[in-house]
Amino acid sequence: MKTILLVEDDAIISETIGELLSMLGYRVLTANSGADAICLHADVGAEGRCESIELTIMDILMPNMSGLDAIRHITDAAPEAKFILISGLSLNGKEEDEHYASLKLLGYRGFLQKPFTISALAFMVRAALDT
């Protein structure tokens, strides 16, 4: 069973997406901040642990530390990490700008605008895990 870390500061959204991922057959870990996500990645990646986080779904806008900053910290220690970004805000074509292009080097696999359908989530997760 693949493990996905869901990083979302809104508890209701986190619970809903977590349930959808579980229904799709994934093991779900949750964090409500970028700092918590960094700690979870470090803990799961610690020597001797048999589990791993195959994919992180990260909200872009969170208090104290943005999802983008958290991704940079996580990939410093785990360059193989893969990420899907989520947000209630549209990227409005920004996905192709230099900022987001550089994220592809940091494990960026795609973007989902909230709200999204279970089929969009399933497709994006499967595609991210297969790359």
Q: Report the pLDDT averaged over residues 85-108.
A: 65
Q: Hey, what are 113's tokens?
A: 């605008």
Structure tokens at 94: 């920004």
Please state which architecture CATH assigns to domain 3-130: 3-Layer(aba) Sandwich (3.40)
Strands (E), the chain: 3-7, 27-31, 55-59, 83-87, 108-113
Average pLDDT over residues 111-121: 93
Amino acid at 74: I
Share of the chain above pLDDT 90, in %: 56
Given pLDDT bands bounded at 50, 70 and 90, which one contains residue 79?
confident
90: how many CB neighbours lie within 10 A of its CB? Answer: 10
Distance CA 1, CA 79 (A): 22
pLDDT of 118 > 70? The answer is yes
Locate the domains of the chain by residue range.
3-130
| Greater pLDDT, 110 or 47 | 110
Residue that wins the pLDDT comparison between 28 and 92: 28
Q: How far apart, in whole angstroms, are the C-alpha atoms of residue 30 and residue 49? A: 18
What count of other Cβ atoms lies within 10 Å of the Cβ of residue 30? 19
Task: Using the predicted structure, report yes or no on whether residue 56 has a pLDDT greater than 90.
Answer: yes
Mean pLDDT of the chain: 86
Residue scoring higher pLDDT (2 or 49): 2
Give 20's contacts (C-beta < 8 A, 6+ positions apart). 118, 121
Q: Tell me the average pLDDT across 74-93.
A: 82
